[in-house]
Amino acid sequence: DLGEKPVHYIQFDGVNSSAEVWWNGEKIGSHDGGYSAFRVRIPEISDENILTVYADNSPNDTVYPQVADFTFYGGIYRDVTVIGVDESHFDLEFYGSSGIMITPKVSGSSAAVNITARVTNPQDCSVRFVVTDADKKPVGEKNIDASDGKTVIEIENVHLWNGTQDPYLYSLTAELLKDGEKTDEIS
């Protein structure tokens, strides 16, 4: 049972070195690189389904490293998960990411947090971003149209992380809203 969500992805946390993914005899995705996660969308779910994964760790010029001081194991060696989402959701096919990209730029005592949200089916959707400090208090918030997907949140009197001496961290929560109802969330 895959739950009630209408769209499903299979997430592979590690397949070394190259993978082809087939669903009911149809190739639905491929990935090169054994050390990064990737996802493929399941096109249609029947009562009985066959998932086939071909893993190949033979030398391949598109996958690095080719030589190292450790053994290159092949096959599926990390977790495989099924993810269910609504039709409108943060993009799960963007290089194994959450669909949210964050680039902070510090200048003096303030920071500009550049945020990009990649959304699948963004029509009639908005994205609400909230930055919280280490005490979970909001320090910045923006609402944008999901079709645009980009914004900047300014943080004044920024508290910078300083390794083990001062491991202060901020958090970002992104909520995808369709007609005012939350359909997806990334923290």
Q: What is the pTM of this model?
A: 0.88
Quote the pLDDT of residue 15: 95
Query: Which superfamily does 7-85 belong to?
Result: Galactose-binding domain-like (2.60.120.260)
Which token pair is 30?
């491929």
Q: Where are the domains of the chain?
A: 7-85, 100-186
Quote the pLDDT of residue 107: 96
57 with 33: CB under 8 angstroms? no
Quote the pLDDT of residue 72: 74
Which helix (H) or strand (E) is 48 found in, with range? Answer: none
Q: How far apart are CA 129 and CA 131, in angstroms?
A: 7
Domain 100-186 has CATH 2.60.40.10: yes
Residue ranges in the chain whose pLDDT is less than 50: none
Q: How far apart are CA 47 and CA 184, in angstroms?
A: 27
Quote the pLDDT of residue 62: 84
Quote the pLDDT of residue 60: 81
